[in-house]
A = this chain, B = another copy of it.
Amino acid sequence: MIPYEIDFDSLSKKIKKLGFQDILIQLPEGMQIYAEEIADNLEDFNVFISANPCYGACDIEVYPNILTIQFGHSKIPNIEYPENIIFVEAFSKASFNTALNSFLKIADCQNVGILASVQHIKAINDVRAFLEEHNIRVFVGKGDSRITYPGQVLGCNFSAAREIKNNVDCFILLGTGEFHAWGAKIVGGKDVFVLDPYTGRAKKVNGGSFLRRRYAAIAKAKDAQKFGIIVSSKIGQKRWKLAKNLKKIVEKEGRKAYLIMTDNVVPENFYYSVDAYVNTACPRLTYDDYSRFKKVVLSPIELLIALGIKDWSAFSFDEIVEVDK
């Protein structure tokens, strides 16, 4: 059984209305185990299941005469998508009540900002009601043009946190894992508590270890002579102008730079003879996958700090605000 709210009847009607017979299904990793079941629910069509990894609405596959249906992500408003793709969000029904009680025990915030990854976005209303019953003021940021829902965060965009950071004492993040929380912590500058609906726990993230790792990476790259600048071919991660610009900056400093383009970044394949990489693709690669690269990996701003063009105080979390057209 698929543990998400997906209305296959309306979806089938929509596909028919759009006039497609062939459809391609893109699923994030956690939903891939339901691929056959989803295909069984769409038997009126020729279903192609994509076996390529799918990391978000920044990462689409489209082919002529096929309708691509990406599940589990919301459309990124400021990307100019081709016409033959639609997005089907998959909202979780998980409750946050247990985690909220845990949060009340460990935190002392009178003004709370709520953030959520897309599958938990519908829970924001319940969470707001719960907190307001406990006399806590709640703030939900709208986010920039890359964000669909108020309060939503992407791994590469924390504008919904930035907007309200001066109003809140802390943030709560509805979801699992620490990655989004690091971003919120760096961008918002306030305590961040991850509320995990599956374990029912609230956990304060520690941004210190994250920052120490980044400072260490920058220090290591200071003397690098050859840089590999990683560029993505994915529609929602295309920052080629930025990459070309960084190459010029590196060369102006008398060092060398190579632009390395790829679809899925497989760190194990990066055996280029460079001293350090600079990543303009998904920021998560820099912060989460760095240990799988044989060389140090910097974000764009970290490159400028390593080159001495910017000061350490300029450090910020790499976010994708807009992409090349």
Residues of A within 8 A of B (CB): 24, 32-33, 35-36, 39, 46-53, 61, 63, 226, 230-231, 233, 244, 258-266, 269-274
Query: Taking the nearest CB of chain B, how far is it from the CB of A36, in angstroms?
Result: 6
Chain B residues closer than 8 Å to A46, beta-carbon distance: 244, 259
User: A260 touching B63 by the CB < 8 A rule?
Assistant: no
Give complex CA distance A49, B256 in Å.
14
Chain B residues closer than 8 Å to A47, beta-carbon distance: 258-259
Selected A-B contacts with CB under 8 Å, 22 pairs:
A32-B271, A33-B271, A33-B273, A35-B258, A35-B272, A36-B272, A36-B273, A46-B244, A46-B259, A47-B259, A48-B260, A49-B258, A49-B260, A51-B261, A51-B262, A51-B272, A52-B262, A52-B263, A52-B264, A53-B269, A61-B263, A263-B263
Give complex CA distance A230, B263 in Å.
20
Give complex CA distance A34, B36 in Å.
42
User: B260 touching A51 by the CB < 8 A rule?
Assistant: yes
Chain B residues closer than 8 Å to A244, beta-carbon distance: 46
Give complex CA distance A322, B233 in Å.
28
Give complex CA distance A7, B51 in Å.
39
Chain B residues closer than 8 Å to A266, beta-carbon distance: 51
Give complex CA distance A214, B49 in Å.
26
Give the residue name and chain of the B residue nearest to A230 (CB): B51
Query: Taking the nearest CB of chain B, how far is it from the CB of A146, in angstroms?
Result: 22
Chain B residues closer than 8 Å to A259, beta-carbon distance: 46-49
Chain B residues closer than 8 Å to A48, beta-carbon distance: 231, 259-261
Give the residue name and chain of the B residue nearest to A51 (CB): B262
User: A258 touching B53 by the CB < 8 A rule?
Assistant: no
Give complex CA distance A32, B274 in Å.
13
User: A265 touching B51 by the CB < 8 A rule?
Assistant: yes
Give complex CA distance A313, B274 in Å.
54
Chain B residues closer than 8 Å to A51, beta-carbon distance: 230, 260-262, 265-266, 269-270, 272
Chain B residues closer than 8 Å to A35, beta-carbon distance: 258, 272
Query: Taking the nearest CB of chain B, how far is it from the CB of A9, in angstroms?
Result: 21
Chain B residues closer than 8 Å to A61, beta-carbon distance: 233, 263
Give the residue name and chain of the B residue nearest to A25 (CB): B261
Give complex CA distance A15, B83 in Å.
33
Give complex CA distance A32, B268 in Å.
13
Query: Taking the nearest CB of chain B, how far is it from the CB of A154, in angstroms?
Result: 23
Give complex CA distance A35, B261 in Å.
12
Give complex CA distance A273, B270 in Å.
32
Given contacts A35-B272, A48-B231, A263-B263, 16 further A-B contacts (CB under 8 A): A24-B261, A33-B271, A36-B272, A36-B274, A46-B244, A47-B258, A48-B259, A48-B260, A49-B260, A50-B262, A51-B261, A51-B265, A51-B272, A52-B262, A52-B263, A61-B263
Chain B residues closer than 8 Å to A36, beta-carbon distance: 226, 258, 272-274
